[in-house]
Protein backbone atom coordinates (compact mmCIF):
# COMPACT_ATOMS: atom_id res chain seq x y z
CA UNK A 1 0.00 0.00 0.00
CA UNK A 2 1.16 3.53 -0.75
CA UNK A 3 1.16 4.57 2.91
CA UNK A 4 3.98 2.12 3.65
CA UNK A 5 6.19 3.35 0.81
CA UNK A 6 9.37 4.41 2.69
CA UNK A 7 10.01 7.44 0.49
CA UNK A 8 6.46 8.70 1.05
CA UNK A 9 6.69 8.03 4.79
CA UNK A 10 9.74 10.27 5.04
CA UNK A 11 8.30 13.06 2.88
CA UNK A 12 5.05 12.98 4.83
CA UNK A 13 6.92 13.10 8.13
CA UNK A 14 8.67 16.28 7.02
CA UNK A 15 5.30 17.81 6.17
CA UNK A 16 3.89 16.73 9.52
CA UNK A 17 6.82 18.24 11.40
CA UNK A 18 6.31 21.50 9.52
CA UNK A 19 2.66 21.56 10.54
CA UNK A 20 3.67 20.94 14.15
CA UNK A 21 5.77 24.10 14.08
CA UNK A 22 9.27 22.85 13.31
CA UNK A 23 11.73 24.38 10.89
CA UNK A 24 12.17 21.66 8.26
CA UNK A 25 14.18 23.55 5.66
CA UNK A 26 17.37 21.62 6.43
CA UNK A 27 15.46 18.33 6.61
CA UNK A 28 14.10 18.84 3.10
CA UNK A 29 17.55 19.70 1.82
CA UNK A 30 19.04 16.62 3.46
CA UNK A 31 16.40 14.39 1.91
CA UNK A 32 16.90 15.89 -1.55
CA UNK A 33 20.65 15.29 -1.42
CA UNK A 34 20.11 11.76 -0.10
CA UNK A 35 17.80 10.94 -3.00
CA UNK A 36 20.31 12.34 -5.49
CA UNK A 37 23.23 10.36 -4.02
CA UNK A 38 21.38 7.04 -3.60
CA UNK A 39 19.64 5.08 -6.32
CA UNK A 40 17.20 3.32 -4.07
CA UNK A 41 15.28 4.20 -0.93
CA UNK A 42 14.06 1.35 1.23
CA UNK A 43 12.71 0.98 4.76
CA UNK A 44 16.21 0.99 6.24
CA UNK A 45 16.75 4.40 4.68
CA UNK A 46 13.44 5.56 6.13
CA UNK A 47 14.47 4.34 9.59
CA UNK A 48 17.72 6.29 9.29
CA UNK A 49 15.74 9.48 8.70
CA UNK A 50 13.23 8.82 11.48
CA UNK A 51 15.86 7.76 14.03
CA UNK A 52 18.69 10.14 13.15
CA UNK A 53 17.81 13.00 10.80
CA UNK A 54 14.48 13.89 12.39
CA UNK A 55 15.82 14.08 15.94
CA UNK A 56 15.09 17.37 17.73
CA UNK A 57 14.40 19.72 14.81
CA UNK A 58 14.38 23.41 15.79
CA UNK A 59 11.11 25.21 16.47
CA UNK A 60 10.00 27.72 13.84
CA UNK A 61 10.03 31.34 15.00
CA UNK A 62 6.57 32.68 15.79
CA UNK A 63 4.84 29.33 16.27
CA UNK A 64 2.22 30.17 18.87
CA UNK A 65 0.34 26.90 19.50
CA UNK A 66 0.62 24.59 22.48
CA UNK A 67 -0.72 21.12 21.75
CA UNK A 68 -0.18 18.45 24.40
CA UNK A 69 -1.04 14.79 23.95
CA UNK A 70 -1.13 13.81 27.63
CA UNK A 71 -4.56 13.60 29.25
CA UNK A 72 -3.79 15.81 32.27
CA UNK A 73 -2.36 18.58 30.10
CA UNK A 74 -5.29 18.42 27.68
CA UNK A 75 -7.66 18.84 30.60
CA UNK A 76 -5.63 21.75 31.94
CA UNK A 77 -5.61 23.46 28.55
CA UNK A 78 -9.37 23.05 27.96
CA UNK A 79 -12.62 24.20 29.58
CA UNK A 80 -13.58 20.78 30.86
CA UNK A 81 -16.95 20.75 32.61
CA UNK A 82 -18.91 18.03 34.38
CA UNK A 83 -22.65 17.88 33.81
CA UNK A 84 -25.37 16.18 35.77
CA UNK A 85 -26.63 13.08 34.01
CA UNK A 86 -29.94 13.94 32.34
CA UNK A 87 -33.10 11.92 32.73
CA UNK A 88 -34.02 10.48 29.34
CA UNK A 89 -36.87 8.01 28.98
CA UNK A 90 -35.76 4.58 27.78
CA UNK A 91 -37.94 4.66 24.68
CA UNK A 92 -36.56 8.05 23.69
CA UNK A 93 -33.00 6.97 24.40
CA UNK A 94 -33.29 3.99 22.09
CA UNK A 95 -34.87 6.18 19.41
CA UNK A 96 -31.90 8.56 19.65
CA UNK A 97 -29.36 5.72 19.41
CA UNK A 98 -31.16 4.18 16.47
CA UNK A 99 -31.32 7.60 14.85
CA UNK A 100 -27.58 8.06 15.37
CA UNK A 101 -26.80 4.83 13.55
CA UNK A 102 -29.24 5.55 10.74
CA UNK A 103 -27.92 9.08 10.40
CA UNK A 104 -24.31 7.94 10.35
CA UNK A 105 -24.99 5.28 7.73
CA UNK A 106 -27.00 7.72 5.61
CA UNK A 107 -24.36 10.47 5.68
CA UNK A 108 -21.65 7.92 4.94
CA UNK A 109 -23.48 6.57 1.90
CA UNK A 110 -24.13 10.09 0.64
CA UNK A 111 -20.41 10.88 0.66
CA UNK A 112 -19.01 7.48 -0.29
CA UNK A 113 -19.18 7.75 -4.11
CA UNK A 114 -17.18 11.01 -4.11
CA UNK A 115 -14.69 10.31 -1.32
CA UNK A 116 -11.59 12.46 -1.74
CA UNK A 117 -13.11 14.73 -4.38
CA UNK A 118 -12.83 18.51 -4.38
CA UNK A 119 -15.97 20.59 -4.23
CA UNK A 120 -15.27 21.71 -7.79
CA UNK A 121 -15.30 18.12 -9.04
CA UNK A 122 -18.49 17.38 -7.10
CA UNK A 123 -20.24 20.34 -8.73
CA UNK A 124 -18.95 19.27 -12.13
CA UNK A 125 -20.44 15.80 -11.60
CA UNK A 126 -23.77 17.24 -10.52
CA UNK A 127 -23.81 19.57 -13.54
CA UNK A 128 -23.32 16.54 -15.77
CA UNK A 129 -26.56 15.20 -14.25
CA UNK A 130 -28.33 18.53 -14.73
CA UNK A 131 -28.27 19.48 -11.06
CA UNK A 132 -26.82 22.67 -9.56
CA UNK A 133 -26.18 21.55 -5.99
CA UNK A 134 -26.26 18.48 -3.79
CA UNK A 135 -29.74 17.89 -2.36
CA UNK A 136 -29.99 14.09 -2.24
CA UNK A 137 -27.91 10.98 -2.94
CA UNK A 138 -25.67 11.40 -5.96
CA UNK A 139 -27.37 10.53 -9.25
CA UNK A 140 -26.19 7.66 -11.42
CA UNK A 141 -25.03 9.11 -14.75
CA UNK A 142 -24.21 5.76 -16.27
CA UNK A 143 -20.84 5.21 -17.91
CA UNK A 144 -19.82 8.80 -17.18
CA UNK A 145 -19.88 8.01 -13.46
CA UNK A 146 -16.95 5.69 -14.09
CA UNK A 147 -15.18 8.39 -16.09
CA UNK A 148 -15.45 10.68 -13.07
CA UNK A 149 -13.91 7.96 -10.89
CA UNK A 150 -16.99 6.85 -8.95
CA UNK A 151 -15.93 3.57 -7.29
CA UNK A 152 -19.07 2.64 -5.37
CA UNK A 153 -22.02 2.81 -7.73
CA UNK A 154 -24.05 0.83 -5.16
CA UNK A 155 -24.29 4.05 -3.16
CA UNK A 156 -25.69 6.14 -5.99
CA UNK A 157 -29.29 7.26 -6.16
CA UNK A 158 -31.59 4.45 -7.21
CA UNK A 159 -28.94 1.79 -6.57
CA UNK A 160 -28.84 2.06 -2.78
CA UNK A 161 -30.29 -1.02 -1.06
CA UNK A 162 -28.25 -1.04 2.16
CA UNK A 163 -25.31 0.70 3.81
CA UNK A 164 -22.38 -0.97 2.10
CA UNK A 165 -19.14 -1.70 3.95
CA UNK A 166 -17.09 1.35 4.96
CA UNK A 167 -14.51 1.96 7.68
CA UNK A 168 -16.72 4.77 9.02
CA UNK A 169 -19.28 2.08 9.79
CA UNK A 170 -16.78 -0.56 10.92
CA UNK A 171 -15.32 1.53 13.74
CA UNK A 172 -18.51 1.97 15.79
CA UNK A 173 -18.78 -1.82 15.72
CA UNK A 174 -15.10 -2.28 16.61
CA UNK A 175 -15.53 0.04 19.57
CA UNK A 176 -18.74 -1.72 20.56
CA UNK A 177 -16.57 -4.81 20.94
CA UNK A 178 -14.09 -2.80 23.00
CA UNK A 179 -16.84 -1.62 25.35
CA UNK A 180 -18.46 -5.05 25.63
CA UNK A 181 -15.14 -6.71 26.41
CA UNK A 182 -13.44 -4.09 28.60
CA UNK A 183 -16.16 -1.71 29.77
CA UNK A 184 -16.11 2.09 29.82
CA UNK A 185 -12.71 2.25 31.55
CA UNK A 186 -10.71 0.53 28.81
CA UNK A 187 -7.12 1.49 27.94
CA UNK A 188 -5.42 2.06 24.56
CA UNK A 189 -3.83 -1.39 24.81
CA UNK A 190 -7.32 -2.92 24.95
CA UNK A 191 -8.25 -1.15 21.73
CA UNK A 192 -5.13 -2.53 20.07
CA UNK A 193 -6.04 -6.05 21.16
CA UNK A 194 -9.50 -5.75 19.59
CA UNK A 195 -8.00 -4.34 16.40
CA UNK A 196 -5.63 -7.25 15.96
CA UNK A 197 -8.48 -9.72 16.42
CA UNK A 198 -11.06 -7.98 14.23
CA UNK A 199 -9.47 -5.62 11.68
CA UNK A 200 -7.72 -6.88 8.54
CA UNK A 201 -4.48 -4.97 7.96
CA UNK A 202 -5.58 -4.23 4.40
CA UNK A 203 -8.58 -2.27 5.66
CA UNK A 204 -6.77 0.20 7.89
CA UNK A 205 -5.21 3.34 6.49
CA UNK A 206 -2.81 6.18 7.33
CA UNK A 207 -2.44 6.52 11.14
CA UNK A 208 -4.35 3.31 11.84
CA UNK A 209 -2.12 1.40 9.44
CA UNK A 210 1.01 2.76 11.12
CA UNK A 211 -0.34 1.95 14.59
CA UNK A 212 -1.36 -1.55 13.48
CA UNK A 213 2.14 -2.13 12.08
CA UNK A 214 3.61 -0.92 15.35
CA UNK A 215 1.37 -3.24 17.37
CA UNK A 216 2.56 -6.21 15.34
CA UNK A 217 6.15 -5.09 16.00
CA UNK A 218 5.42 -5.31 19.73
CA UNK A 219 5.25 -1.60 20.50
CA UNK A 220 2.79 -0.27 23.07
CA UNK A 221 0.98 3.05 23.35
CA UNK A 222 1.94 5.85 23.15
CA UNK A 223 4.75 4.62 20.87
CA UNK A 224 2.19 3.00 18.58
CA UNK A 225 1.00 6.52 17.75
CA UNK A 226 4.40 8.14 17.21
CA UNK A 227 6.78 5.54 15.77
CA UNK A 228 7.16 6.21 12.02
CA UNK A 229 3.63 7.58 11.87
CA UNK A 230 3.44 10.80 9.83
CA UNK A 231 -0.37 10.54 9.86
CA UNK A 232 -0.79 11.04 13.59
CA UNK A 233 -3.01 14.11 13.11
CA UNK A 234 -5.15 12.71 10.29
CA UNK A 235 -8.89 12.09 10.55
CA UNK A 236 -8.78 8.40 11.53
CA UNK A 237 -9.43 8.92 15.23
CA UNK A 238 -12.15 11.48 14.56
CA UNK A 239 -14.25 8.87 12.74
CA UNK A 240 -13.94 6.44 15.67
CA UNK A 241 -15.62 8.72 18.22
CA UNK A 242 -19.31 8.03 17.73
CA UNK A 243 -20.14 5.22 20.10
CA UNK A 244 -18.42 6.98 23.00
CA UNK A 245 -20.82 9.89 22.61
CA UNK A 246 -23.79 7.58 22.04
CA UNK A 247 -23.26 5.74 25.32
CA UNK A 248 -22.66 8.97 27.26
CA UNK A 249 -25.94 10.85 26.75
CA UNK A 250 -25.49 14.31 28.21
CA UNK A 251 -22.23 13.26 29.93
CA UNK A 252 -19.52 14.65 27.61
CA UNK A 253 -16.70 14.32 30.14
CA UNK A 254 -17.18 10.54 30.06
CA UNK A 255 -17.37 10.48 26.29
CA UNK A 256 -14.15 12.44 25.80
CA UNK A 257 -12.18 10.28 28.23
CA UNK A 258 -13.12 7.17 26.24
CA UNK A 259 -12.37 9.01 22.99
CA UNK A 260 -8.95 9.94 24.34
CA UNK A 261 -8.13 6.35 25.29
CA UNK A 262 -9.15 5.21 21.82
CA UNK A 263 -7.30 7.95 19.94
CA UNK A 264 -4.06 7.61 21.93
CA UNK A 265 -3.39 4.27 20.24
CA UNK A 266 -2.79 5.91 16.88
CA UNK A 267 -2.82 9.71 17.16
CA UNK A 268 -1.37 12.73 18.93
CA UNK A 269 -2.33 16.38 19.39
CA UNK A 270 -5.07 17.49 16.99
CA UNK A 271 -5.65 13.90 15.93
CA UNK A 272 -6.68 13.17 19.52
CA UNK A 273 -8.62 16.42 19.91
CA UNK A 274 -10.70 15.65 16.82
CA UNK A 275 -12.02 12.45 18.35
CA UNK A 276 -12.67 14.15 21.68
CA UNK A 277 -14.47 17.03 19.94
CA UNK A 278 -16.82 14.72 18.03
CA UNK A 279 -17.46 12.50 21.06
CA UNK A 280 -18.38 15.56 23.13
CA UNK A 281 -20.69 16.89 20.40
CA UNK A 282 -22.49 13.57 20.16
CA UNK A 283 -22.94 13.41 23.91
CA UNK A 284 -24.18 17.00 23.96
CA UNK A 285 -26.58 16.32 21.08
CA UNK A 286 -28.79 14.39 23.51
CA UNK A 287 -29.51 17.56 25.50
CA UNK A 288 -28.79 20.54 23.23
CA UNK A 289 -31.55 22.11 21.16
CA UNK A 290 -29.46 23.71 18.39
CA UNK A 291 -26.46 22.54 16.37
CA UNK A 292 -24.54 25.65 17.41
CA UNK A 293 -24.95 24.70 21.06
CA UNK A 294 -23.66 21.23 20.19
CA UNK A 295 -20.54 22.71 18.59
CA UNK A 296 -19.91 25.06 21.50
CA UNK A 297 -20.22 22.20 24.00
CA UNK A 298 -17.79 20.10 21.98
CA UNK A 299 -15.29 22.94 21.79
CA UNK A 300 -15.05 23.04 25.59
CA UNK A 301 -13.00 19.84 25.46
CA UNK A 302 -10.43 21.06 22.92
CA UNK A 303 -7.21 22.74 24.15
CA UNK A 304 -7.58 26.48 23.66
CA UNK A 305 -4.08 27.01 22.25
CA UNK A 306 -4.44 24.33 19.58
CA UNK A 307 -4.89 24.68 15.85
CA UNK A 308 -8.18 22.76 16.02
CA UNK A 309 -9.63 25.15 18.61
CA UNK A 310 -8.58 28.11 16.47
CA UNK A 311 -10.09 26.54 13.34
CA UNK A 312 -13.46 25.70 14.89
CA UNK A 313 -13.62 29.13 16.51
CA UNK A 314 -12.96 30.65 13.09
CA UNK A 315 -15.86 28.72 11.54
CA UNK A 316 -18.15 29.89 14.35
CA UNK A 317 -17.07 33.48 13.69
CA UNK A 318 -17.57 33.17 9.94
CA UNK A 319 -21.06 31.76 10.52
CA UNK A 320 -21.98 34.94 12.35
CA UNK A 321 -20.65 37.14 9.56
CA UNK A 322 -21.42 35.28 6.33
CA UNK A 323 -24.98 34.11 5.58
CA UNK A 324 -24.13 31.90 2.57
CA UNK A 325 -22.40 28.63 3.41
CA UNK A 326 -20.62 28.55 0.04
CA UNK A 327 -18.84 31.83 0.84
CA UNK A 328 -18.02 30.54 4.30
CA UNK A 329 -16.57 27.38 2.73
CA UNK A 330 -14.34 29.51 0.47
CA UNK A 331 -12.98 31.39 3.50
CA UNK A 332 -12.30 28.14 5.35
CA UNK A 333 -10.53 26.68 2.32
CA UNK A 334 -8.41 29.80 1.95
CA UNK A 335 -7.21 29.40 5.51
CA UNK A 336 -7.12 25.62 6.00
CA UNK A 337 -6.99 24.19 2.50
CA UNK A 338 -3.26 23.58 2.98
CA UNK A 339 -3.93 20.43 4.99
CA UNK A 340 -4.11 16.93 3.51
CA UNK A 341 -7.53 15.83 2.28
CA UNK A 342 -7.87 13.44 5.23
CA UNK A 343 -6.48 15.72 7.93
CA UNK A 344 -8.45 16.30 11.12
CA UNK A 345 -8.55 20.09 11.05
CA UNK A 346 -9.97 20.92 7.62
CA UNK A 347 -12.51 18.11 7.74
CA UNK A 348 -13.64 19.08 11.25
CA UNK A 349 -14.30 22.55 9.84
CA UNK A 350 -16.54 21.04 7.17
CA UNK A 351 -18.44 19.08 9.81
CA UNK A 352 -19.09 22.32 11.68
CA UNK A 353 -20.10 24.10 8.46
CA UNK A 354 -22.68 21.38 7.84
CA UNK A 355 -24.01 21.63 11.37
CA UNK A 356 -24.20 25.42 11.53
CA UNK A 357 -25.54 26.17 8.06
CA UNK A 358 -27.78 23.11 8.00
CA UNK A 359 -29.53 24.58 11.06
CA UNK A 360 -31.02 21.29 12.21
CA UNK A 361 -32.34 20.20 8.79
CA UNK A 362 -30.99 16.67 8.32
CA UNK A 363 -30.78 16.61 4.52
CA UNK A 364 -29.37 20.11 4.21
CA UNK A 365 -26.77 19.44 6.91
CA UNK A 366 -25.34 16.24 5.42
CA UNK A 367 -25.43 17.69 1.91
CA UNK A 368 -23.42 20.76 2.95
CA UNK A 369 -20.87 18.59 4.76
CA UNK A 370 -20.43 16.37 1.71
CA UNK A 371 -20.51 19.11 -0.92
CA UNK A 372 -17.57 20.74 0.87
CA UNK A 373 -15.47 17.90 -0.56
CA UNK A 374 -12.37 16.09 0.76
CA UNK A 375 -13.19 13.25 3.19
CA UNK A 376 -16.83 13.29 2.20
CA UNK A 377 -17.99 9.96 3.60
CA UNK A 378 -16.41 10.70 7.00
CA UNK A 379 -17.88 14.19 7.26
CA UNK A 380 -21.31 13.15 6.04
CA UNK A 381 -21.29 10.30 8.53
CA UNK A 382 -20.33 12.51 11.48
CA UNK A 383 -22.93 15.18 10.70
CA UNK A 384 -25.55 12.49 10.08
CA UNK A 385 -24.75 10.88 13.42
CA UNK A 386 -25.10 14.15 15.33
CA UNK A 387 -28.38 15.07 13.63
CA UNK A 388 -29.56 11.49 14.14
CA UNK A 389 -29.09 11.88 17.89
CA UNK A 390 -30.84 15.24 17.91
CA UNK A 391 -33.82 14.12 15.82
CA UNK A 392 -34.05 10.45 16.74
CA UNK A 393 -34.95 7.74 14.26
CA UNK A 394 -38.57 8.84 14.39
CA UNK A 395 -37.58 12.34 13.26
CA UNK A 396 -35.35 11.41 10.32
CA UNK A 397 -36.75 11.99 6.82
CA UNK A 398 -37.99 8.75 5.26
CA UNK A 399 -36.58 9.59 1.85
CA UNK A 400 -33.09 9.51 3.35
CA UNK A 401 -33.23 6.42 5.56
CA UNK A 402 -35.66 4.14 3.72
CA UNK A 403 -33.19 3.23 0.92
CA UNK A 404 -30.93 1.61 3.55
CA UNK A 405 -33.59 -0.99 4.38
CA UNK A 406 -32.35 -1.03 7.97
CA UNK A 407 -29.30 -2.99 6.81
CA UNK A 408 -25.56 -2.45 7.15
CA UNK A 409 -22.56 -4.38 5.85
CA UNK A 410 -19.31 -4.62 7.78
CA UNK A 411 -15.98 -6.40 7.62
CA UNK A 412 -16.00 -6.93 11.40
CA UNK A 413 -16.40 -10.64 12.30
CA UNK A 414 -19.95 -11.38 13.42
CA UNK A 415 -21.33 -8.21 11.83
CA UNK A 416 -20.88 -8.82 8.13
CA UNK A 417 -24.60 -8.27 7.51
CA UNK A 418 -26.53 -6.68 10.36
CA UNK A 419 -29.84 -4.96 10.94
CA UNK A 420 -29.18 -1.39 12.01
CA UNK A 421 -32.02 -1.61 14.54
CA UNK A 422 -30.47 -4.73 16.08
CA UNK A 423 -27.11 -3.00 16.33
CA UNK A 424 -28.85 -0.09 18.07
CA UNK A 425 -30.39 -2.52 20.58
CA UNK A 426 -27.00 -4.04 21.30
CA UNK A 427 -25.52 -0.59 21.98
CA UNK A 428 -28.59 0.28 24.06
CA UNK A 429 -27.85 -2.67 26.32
CA UNK A 430 -24.57 -1.03 27.36
CA UNK A 431 -26.62 1.62 29.12
CA UNK A 432 -28.80 -0.76 31.10
Claim to verify: residue 327 and residue 391 sit in the same structural domain:
yes
- Domain assignment of residue 130, yes or no: no
**CB proximity list for 270: less than 8 A, separation 6 or greater:** 67, 233, 306, 307, 308, 344, 345
Same domain, 29 and 168: no
* Whether residue 40 is found in the same domain as residue 170: no
Q: Which domain holds residue 19?
A: 6-53
pLDDT at 36: 87
On whether residue 60 sits in a domain, the answer given is: no
Same-domain status, 241 and 98: yes
Pair 93, 46 in one domain: no
pLDDT of residue 100: 98
116-141 pLDDT, tens digit per residue, is 999 999 999 999 999 999 999 999 99
Candidates 93, 173, 108, 166; CA nearest to 383 is 108
At residue 89, the pLDDT reads 97
One domain for residues 106 and 178: yes
* 315-327 pLDDT per residue, tens: 999 999 999 999 9
Structural domain includes residue 391: yes
Do residue 279 and residue 401 come from a single domain?
A: yes
The answer on pLDDT for 202 being more than 90 is: no
User: Which pLDDT belongs to residue 386?
Assistant: 99
Would 155 be classed as within a structural domain?
A: no
Rg for the chain, CA atoms, rounded: 21
Specify whether 26 is located in the same domain as 106.
no
* Total tally of structural domains belonging to the chain: 2
**Binding residue numbers:** 167-168, 375, 377
Q: Note whether 386 and 282 are within 8 A (CB).
A: yes
- Give the residue ranges of the annotated binding site for Mg(2+): 167-168, 375, 377
Residue 280 has pLDDT above 90, yes or no: yes
Same domain for 424 and 343, yes or no, is yes
- Are 124 and 141 in contact by the 8 Å Cβ rule? The answer is no
The enclosing domain of 397 has a CATH number of: 1.10.4080.10
Residue 2 has pLDDT above 60, yes or no: no
Closest among 83, 22, 117, 61 to 341, alpha carbons compared: 117
Q: Does 3 score more than 70 pLDDT?
A: no
Over residues 378-390, mean pLDDT: 98
**H helices of 264-372, where?**
269-284, 291-299, 307-321, 325-336, 344-358, 362-371
What 296-299 contacts at long range (C-beta under 8 Å, 24+ apart), as own/partner pairs, is 297/252, 298/252
Q: What is the DSSP string of 100-130?
A: HHHHHHHHHHHHGGGTT-BHHHHHHHHHHTT
Q: Is residue 238 part of a domain?
A: yes
Same domain, 176 and 43: no
Amino acid sequence: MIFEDPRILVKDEIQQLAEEGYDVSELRETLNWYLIMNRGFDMDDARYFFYEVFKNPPRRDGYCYYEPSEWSEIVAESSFAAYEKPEIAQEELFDRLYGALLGRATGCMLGKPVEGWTREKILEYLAEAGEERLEYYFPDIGAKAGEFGVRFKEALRGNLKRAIRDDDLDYPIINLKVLEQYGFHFHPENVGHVWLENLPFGQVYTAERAAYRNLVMGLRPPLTATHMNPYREFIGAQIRADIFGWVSPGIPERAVKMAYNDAALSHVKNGIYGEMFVAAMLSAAFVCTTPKDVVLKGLQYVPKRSRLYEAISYVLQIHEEVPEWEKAWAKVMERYGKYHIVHTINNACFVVLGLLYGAGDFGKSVCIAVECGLDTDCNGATVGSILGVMLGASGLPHQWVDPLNDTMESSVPGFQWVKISELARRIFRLLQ
